[in-house]
Amino acid sequence: MTRVLCRLDELDATGAREIVLNKDGARVSVFVLKYRGHILGYVNSCPHVRLPLNWTADVFLDVSRTYLFCANHGAHFDVMSGLCIRGPCKGQSLTPYPVRVEDDSIVTDDI
């Protein structure tokens, strides 16, 4: 079964969008983003101390939109791999979340 997470045009404002899922009764925050023609998804949990990365709704990229950014202690992550390249969790990675594009929407089969 497939679940629609959001429409592609909902990424236009910030490049990303947070979606809160209910998985087996547990609240799980994930985010999807559009980056250089790729659509990617990650679990919204920083490997440093497992806080959500964002302080502002749907803002996950730094101001240059070059890196994913954790607002808590400034970790920077490579967008394509999720690897932390600067900050307190350098060398650790975000957890990928499986997404794909179907028609004009971003969907997941992980439900």
**Residues that bind ligand FES in the complex, under the rule CB under 6 A:** 46, 48-49, 51, 70, 72-73, 75, 87-88
Q: How far is the CB of 95 from ligand FES (least distance, A)?
A: 13
Instruction: Report the SS3 class of residue 45.
Output: coil
E strand segments, the chain:
3-7, 16-23, 26-35, 38-43, 67-69, 76-78, 84-86, 100-102, 105-108
73 vs 100, beta carbon nearer ligand FES: 73
49 vs 80, beta carbon nearer ligand FES: 49
Most distant CA pair in the chain: distance in Å?
A: 39
Q: How far is the CB of 89 from ligand FES (least distance, A)?
A: 6
